[in-house]
A and B are shown apart, each in its own frame.
Chain A
Amino acid sequence: MEDDAMMIFPLAQTIAQPPDAAASTGLFYLFAILAGASALGVVLSRNIVRTAVFLLFTLAGVAGLYFLLDAEFLAAVQLVVYAGGTLVLIIFGVMLTSKSPGIRYEPKIVEVAVAIGVSVVVAAALVMAIVRQFPAEPASIERHPTIAELGQVLLGDYLIPFELISVLLLVVMIGAAYLAKARRRGGK
């Protein structure tokens, strides 16, 4: 089965090779710092367009981490859907809704306090849980390309959710079309 997959996806050949440990550690730090630092940038920057650009780098960094974890499908989706699609949507949204794209927003002290409180609680719970629950040694996972298997699973075990999502998308598309139509009619 792996041979089949590699004939279909030549890229899988390179992924299947266990990477050099030092290089992958270096890359991990690179991507982690990229994701973490730009996440800080998202929070600290007050210009909304800059925030969006920082978000782009955060998402790209996370995608890099996925690549290192051999989740190449997830990484590709992360890049295509989030870094590509959603972010462009956000920037369009900002440009279309705010009066000037350089708008700055000033959070109130209370909002900052609440946000810090919630983040500290969530971070503490996560750190505590990770320290307590996960073993220090990473589990050894057999490396193999996942895309072909994902396709199998989507049309196998998870066929029903796959089909239901198509119904969901149909219904939601109708809803979105209705709302868009409403705006045009209101403009007349």
Chain B
Amino acid sequence: MNTLPVAIGLPYVPDWGQLRAFAPELWLIAAIVAVLLTPFFVKKPNAACGWVALVGLLAALVSVFVVGVDGTGEHFRGLMVADPVSVFWKGLLLMFVIGIVLMWFSTTAPTMHQGDGPEFFTLLLGATLGMSLMASTSNLLMLVIAVELASLPSYVLAGFRKTHLAGAEASLKYILFGAATSSIMVYGLSMLYGLYGTLQIDGPGGLAQQIATSGGSALLWMAIFSLIVGLGFKISAVPFHFWCPDVFEGASIEVSAFLSVASKGAGLVLLMRVMMSFASAQAYESTPLLNHLAVLLGVLGAITATVGNTAAFVQRNIKRLLAYSSIAHAGYMLCIVSLLVRGPAVKADLDLASTAAQVVLFYLAVYLFMNLGAFTVAGLIERETGTERIADYAGMGRRSPLMAFCLSACLFSLVGLPPFAGFVAKVNVFWALMQNGSWWWWLVGVIGVNTVLSLYYYVRVIKVMYLDDSSSAPIWPHPLGAGVAVVCAAILVFMLIAFGPINRLAGHYSHFYGVDQTTFTAEFSSSQPPP
């Protein structure tokens, strides 16, 4: 399929067996069309479009469960893959976006100009479609299209509040940064195609295999660098993170929440798939190429975590604080992607790709609820009091005990403290890095120090809420939003209690198609640390 066929063939019509694995995406496309048609039938389209989007997302989520990992493997002549990792990510993503729509109903819906709803939900669903595609391709062409489909609607979403000056500025910054990084990425990918003559990353004759046999070269490094630039922008890894705090501050709160989890998660899953394809094609041996790549990703992750945490210290705005916190968490997850080379101490049958995937998927699952909860509370408080300043949260423990409790739960979980699932997510990260030994211990040290640092700024918010006094009136949050926040806090506790089964589930879904799966044994899943 990589050389142009000479004979005239029939047009390609994919059959249902091929399409079935991508039912969630088809539902999303149907939902986009439905949202666009809604204003023709109702007078006040905002809420109606919200409901239509919600129904579409629910249908997509149900189809994820119904189809499952059935039909694993390559689809559409190798352009897309359906594998357990992508299915798990799609499930998480759709659940999260449903949360975002509920959050929209409880925070932004009343202030949104009537008639803007169709555009808003079209863009939101479009970006979601792109992010779910990002997780299920190992073809360079599809990769570019998926990244663009995720990015372009996000730029508009960031500047969706037309009357908001900071939002317009944030949107412009986001576009300029995004345009620069994605053009660098496409340039690099064109070099990969030029070098190896194929768009396919995995599989026989794919990029990963050819790189394994031919070794590194200057041009290959340039291509890999530019790929990391493009995906690093989506993940907000450190040299490319400048857009993140500004966009989070300028965009309306549900958009910030959406970008904080969905954009980063999709970028991470995609980066992990590409890197693990490279690594497994070289059997995780310590070749110079893999070693350098692992060190590069590890250092990038360590710097990202450190910069995110130190910059969060001085933030006075809750959205900026959460932005830097999300940069730090992206850094922790990037450290896991550096598990490309089998360490000296590690058992020979440990499959690094699925270990990394398991840890990252579990982390993303926890991170999703922590961020959704924290952003929802911040949005509800902003709606009632019109403030995003942390200092104005004074006395929240008395003014709205429920909101203060939910926010505290999410923040404790973000630190990684025991009563909440953030703890086990972080223990998982430590465990995976320590298993590999060698210089990965340095990453363990860096993340450990960062965790202690992060305690300060998260707990400062809790201190303001409970210890600082304020004579402001009590607030009564929107019941729907309060429900979302309470559910998030409850799930964080539940995920700690049910750590074993959920982690096994993540382990079960931690397989990349086309990446060598030497082992996934019961013994591996039972060697987890006890919760």
Which residues from chain A sit less than 8 Å from chain B, CB to CB? 1, 4, 122, 125-126, 128-129, 132-133, 144, 146, 148-150, 152-153, 155-161, 164-165, 167-168, 170-172, 174-179, 182, 185-186
Contact = CB atoms under 8 A, between A and B. Distances in A.
Contacts of B8: 1, 4, 148, 152
Interface in B147-174: 148-149, 152-153, 155-156, 159-160, 162-163
Nearest to A128: B218
A153 B5 contact: yes
Interface in B204-257: 217-219, 221-222
B76 interface: yes
B6 A149 contact: yes
B457 to A, nearest CB: 33
A171 B28 CA distance: 12
A89 B92 CA distance: 41
B367 to A, nearest CB: 26
Given A158-B141, A160-B79, A185-B162, A174 B218 contact: no
A121 to B, nearest CB: 9
21 contacts: A1-B8, A126-B222, A132-B217, A132-B218, A133-B195, A133-B217, A149-B6, A152-B8, A157-B1, A160-B142, A161-B142, A165-B145, A167-B29, A167-B126, A174-B36, A174-B123, A175-B155, A178-B119, A178-B123, A179-B156, A185-B162
A55 to B, nearest CB: 15
B32 interface: yes
In terms of DSSP, what is the predominant structure of the interface of chain B?
Answer: helix
B153 A156 contact: no
B122 interface: yes
B149 A157 contact: no
B348 interface: no
Interface stretch (B9-17, B320-328, B426-434): B9-17
B5 A171 contact: no
Interface in B11-66: 11-12, 14, 29, 32, 36
Nearest to A142: B6
Contact of B145 (A132, A155, A157, A168): A168
Given A155-B12, A164-B133, A178-B156, A186 B162 contact: yes
Contacts of A182: 162
Contacts of B349: none
In terms of DSSP, what is the predominant structure of the interface of chain A?
Answer: helix
Report, as a range, how many residues of chain B touch the other chain: 35 or more
Closest 7 CB pairs of A and B: A171-B126, A129-B219, A175-B156, A182-B162, A178-B119, A155-B11, A160-B76
A125 to B, nearest CB: 5
Given A159-B76, A160-B14, 9 more contacts: A132-B218, A152-B5, A156-B12, A159-B12, A168-B152, A172-B126, A175-B119, A175-B152, A179-B156
B219 A149 contact: no
Contacts of A174: 36, 118-119, 122-123, 126
Interface string B116-136: 101100110010011001000
B12 A172 contact: no
B7 interface: yes
Nearest to B222: A125
Contacts of A129: 217-219, 222
B103 interface: no
B6 A1 contact: yes
A128 B141 CA distance: 27
A164 B149 contact: yes
Contacts of A156: 5, 9-12
B261 interface: no
A132 B221 CA distance: 14
Contacts of A149: 4-6
A152 B9 contact: yes
Contact of A172 (B152, B159, B218): B152
B120 to A, nearest CB: 8
Contacts of A172: 126, 152-153
Contacts of B122: 171, 174-175
Contacts of B443: none
A149 B5 CA distance: 7
A78 B528 CA distance: 56
B77 interface: yes
Most chain A CB within 10 A, of B29, B218, B221, is at B218
A175 B123 contact: yes
Contact of B219 (A133, A146, A148): A133
